[in-house]
């Protein structure tokens, strides 16, 4: 219901729906908002019970959206499938500067697409992957300079706190 009204408010620049349990249904609605005439530059969705299906809806919109600069989906339940969808979409997104995927039950299965994103995206400046069980990606990224590095792109910060395989929930 709220999203329907937001669709009629194209001047809205920032939206913070933290801790609202919007779930996959709400994430799908937000995907429609991002696909529309939205001028959102910042979207904060921490702790909303968003899973892979909701992440895929957001990812679908991110592949086309050209206004969003910051996306925070920390503390959801995206899992590997959801994170892979978002990272895959960001391979083609030229506007997002900052993404937070911390605390989303990611494992080493997400590592290949995360590494690809970090080494090829030309606009992303910061990605936070903290509090996930990334194993391989955390070792690869740490070896590049403690999470602060530069490839052929503009990424300057990668958050990797508590990313070992021994991280327990």
Instruction: Tell me the CATH number at 114.
Output: 3.80.10.10
* Structural domain contains residue 70: yes
pLDDT at position 24 over 70: yes
* Structural domain contains residue 129: yes
* Structural domain contains residue 167: no
Q: How many other CB atoms are there within 10 angstroms of residue 169's CB atom?
A: 6
Quick one: pLDDT band at residue 85, thresholds 50, 70, 90?
A: very high
* Structural domain contains residue 168: no
pLDDT at 163: 84
Query: Which residue is listed with tokens 């529309």?
Result: 36
* Structural domain contains residue 166: no
* Structural domain contains residue 169: no
Query: Which residue is listed with tokens 């978002």?
Result: 86
pLDDT at 138: 53
Per-residue pLDDT of 98-142, as tens digits, reads 999 999 999 999 988 998 898 889 999 999 999 999 875 555 555
pLDDT at 58: 97
**pTM of structure:** 0.87
Q: Which of 158, 148, 152, 47 is nearest to 99 (CA)?
A: 158
Burial of 31 (0-12, 13-18, 19+ CB in 10 A): buried
* Dihedral sign (CA 67, 96, 129, 157): negative
Q: Could you list the residue range(s) of the whole structural domain that residue 35 is in?
A: 2-7+14-159
Alpha carbons 84 and 65: distance in angstroms, whole number: 18
Tokens of 161: 């706190």
* Structural domain contains residue 99: yes
* Dihedral sign (CA 4, 1, 65, 61): negative
Number of domains the chain contains: 1
Burial of 140 (0-12, 13-18, 19+ CB in 10 A): middle
Per-position DSSP letters for 87-136, written without gaps between them: HHHHTS-SS--EEE--SS--BGGGHHHHHHHHHH-SS--EEE--SSB-TH
| Percent of the residues in the chain that have a pLDDT greater than 70, as a whole number | 82
* Structural domain contains residue 133: yes
């Amino acid at each position: 219901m709220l999203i329907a009204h937001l669709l009629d408010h194209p001047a809205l620049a920032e939206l913070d729906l933290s801790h609202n349990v919007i779930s996959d249904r709400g994430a799908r609605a937000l995907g429609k908002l991002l696909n529309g005439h939205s001028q959102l530059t910042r979207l904060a969705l921490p702790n909303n019970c968003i899973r892979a299906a909701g992440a895929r809806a957001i990812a679908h919109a991110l592949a086309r959206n050209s206004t969003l600069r910051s996306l925070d989906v920390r503390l959801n339940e995206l899992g590997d499938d959801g994170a892979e969808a978002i990272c895959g979409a960001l391979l083609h997104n030229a506007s997002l500067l900052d993404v937070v995927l911390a605390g989303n039950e990611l494992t080493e299965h997400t590592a290949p697409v995360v590494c690809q994103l970090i080494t090829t995206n030309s606009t992303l400046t910061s990605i936070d992957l903290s509090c996930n069980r990334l194993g391989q990606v955390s070792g690869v990224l740490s070896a590049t300079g403690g999470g602060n590095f530069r490839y052929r792109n503009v990424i300057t910060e990668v958050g990797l706190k508590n990313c070992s395989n021994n991280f327990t929930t």
